Amino acid sequence: MTPGEEIRLSIDGMGGDEGPEMVLPGLAVALVRCPNLKFDVFGDEATLVRRLADLPEVKAVTTVHPTTVSIPMDAKPSQALRMGRRDSSMWRALDAVKSGTSQACVSAGNTGALMAMAKFCLRPMPGVERPALAAIWPTVRGECIVLDVGATIGVETKSIVSNAVLGAAMARAVFGIPSPTVGLLNIGVEEVKGLEEVREAGQILRERNATDMRYTGFVEGDDIGRGLVDVVVTEGFSGNIALKTAEGTARQLAEYLRMSIGRTLRSRIGYLLMKPAFARLRDKMDPRKINGAVFLGLNGLTIKSHGGTDAEGFASAVELAHDMVRHGLLTQIRRDVATLKDEPELADAR
C-alpha cells in the first residue's frame, strides 16, 4: 500500500469488559496516530450513536451498523456460534472482512468465541489445519513474535511446523527481515528434551532447510525476553501462560518500584533524579503498548484485543491492524502457506 492510503477496519463495538465505553475512545486515540483510518463499527445503535456524539473526530470517519446480539465474555465457543452467527457485533465485523468491505477486524470480545467465529466465517487457508494467535513481544533487543498464545490448545507436529511458517511470514512483513530466526519453545535446548511432537517438528524444520527462515533449535522461556530469535513457536496452552506470566511480572515489578520509591525521603529524592529513566521503563513495560494479537492462517485479518484493556490498549490493537494491512501480511502468508501443501515430510507427521 502507498503511505496515507485509506484503510478501513471493522470494529466489534460491543466487545470487551466495557464495550463502547472503551472501544470508541480507543478509536479516537488510534486515529491521532493513524489518520488514514476509517471504521465500520457494529453494535447497539443507540449506545454507539450516543457515545460518538462526544467523539466528533471518530464520528466523522465511522459508519455505525446496528446489531441485536452481543456475545457474553463467558460464552462457550459453541454457544457463541449458535447465538451470534446471524446478527452479533462480532460476527458482522468478521463478515465485513469476508465480503471485502473492510480490510481487517478488531475485537476485544471473548477469545474462544472470536476464534470459533473467525474460523467458521473466514475459513483456514489451504495447508493450515489450526490457525494460530500471534503476539508481538518486547525484548531487550527490540521485538519478537510469539505464537500460538491461545488460539488452539494441544501439541501437534504439523501445527508447530505450520506456526513456524506463519510466524516467519509475519516477521518478514512486520520487521522487514528477509530470513527471520525461528526457535521452538521447549523445557531445554538439548535435542533429546521435550515432547515427541516438538522434537519431531524441530527435525522437520531443520531438514526443511528453507531460505525464508533460519531455524535455530529449541529456546527456553527466559530466552523470549532476551530476544534470541525473531519468532518463538509454541502451542496455545503454554504460549498463553507465558504471555500472561510476562504481563503479570511487568505489573509486579512496577508495583515493587512504586512501593520502594515512596518508602524513604532519600528514595523519593532519588526518584526525582531518575524520573526520566523510570518513565522510559514504565513505557517499555506497559502491557497496553503490545495489546493485540493476530489470528494467522485465516482468509482474512482478525486482531484480538484484551477484553480488560482501556482505550490506550485498544488503540494499540487498532494500530496493529493498521500495520498488518499496510505491510500486506495476508499476501505474504498466503504465499508461504502454499509451500506447506507440497512438503511430503508433513504428510505422516502427527
Once rounded to an integer, what is the mean pLDDT over residues 288-305?
88
Q: Is residue 231 part of a domain?
A: yes
pLDDT digits (tens, 9 = 90+) for 327-350: 888 888 888 887 766 555 555 555
Residues 105 and 186 in one domain: no
pLDDT at 242: 83
Domain count, the chain: 2
What separation in angstroms does the CA of 263 have from each of 81, 128, 260, 276? 52, 54, 5, 20
Q: What is the CA radius of gyration of the chain?
A: 21
- pLDDT for 225 beyond 70: yes
Q: Is residue 336 part of a domain?
A: no
pLDDT bin (cut points 50, 70, 90) of residue 279 is: low
Query: pTM, whole model, 2 decimals?
Result: 0.84
Q: Is residue 211 part of a domain?
A: yes
Cis peptide before 348 (omega within 30 of 0): no
Q: Is residue 350 part of a domain?
A: no
Nearest one of 254, 234, 249, 61 to 153, comparing CA atoms: 234
- pLDDT for 49 beyond 70: yes
pLDDT digits (tens, 9 = 90+) for 61-84: 999 999 998 888 888 888 888 877
- Residue 52, domain extent: 1-124+297-327
pLDDT at 1: 66
Q: Is residue 233 part of a domain?
A: yes
Q: Is residue 342 part of a domain?
A: no
SS3 content of the chain, % helix, strand, coil (to 5): 50, 15, 30
pLDDT bin (cut points 50, 70, 90) of residue 35 is: very high
34 Cβ neighbours under 8 A, 6+ residues apart = 7, 318, 319, 322
Which position has the higher pLDDT, 5 or 99?
A: 99
Residues 228 and 157 in one domain: yes
Q: What is the distance between the alpha carbons of residues 136 and 292, in angstroms, rounded to a whole number? A: 8
- pLDDT for 29 beyond 80: yes
Residues 273 and 260 in one domain: yes
Residues 144 and 287 in one domain: yes
Residues 71 and 152 in one domain: no
Residues 94 and 145 in one domain: no
Residues 139 and 106 in one domain: no
Q: Is 291 helix (H, G, I), strand (E, B) or coil?
A: coil
CATH of residue 271's domain is 3.40.718.10
Q: Is residue 76 part of a domain?
A: yes
Q: What is the distance between the alpha carbons of residues 304 and 318, in angstroms, rounded to a whole number? A: 9
> Residue 241, exposed/middle/buried by CB under 10 A (0-12, 13-18, 19+)?
middle
* HSE-CB for 270 with a 13 A CA cutoff: 10
Q: Which of 142-151, 202-211, 241-250, 315-324 has the lowest mean pLDDT?
A: 241-250
Q: Cell digits for 174?
A: 512486520
* HSE-CB for 208 with a 13 A CA cutoff: 27
Q: Cell digits for 270?
A: 532519588
Residues 95 and 65 sit within 8 Å (Cβ to Cβ): no
Q: Is residue 217 part of a domain?
A: yes
Residues 75 and 139 in one domain: no
Residues 149 and 86 in one domain: no
Residues 115 and 138 in one domain: no
Q: Is the Cα torsion angle 261, 262, 266, 272 positive or negative in sign?
A: positive
The distance from CA 211 to its chain's CA centroid, rounded to whole angstroms, is: 26
Residues 15 and 152 in one domain: no
Residues 137 and 111 in one domain: no
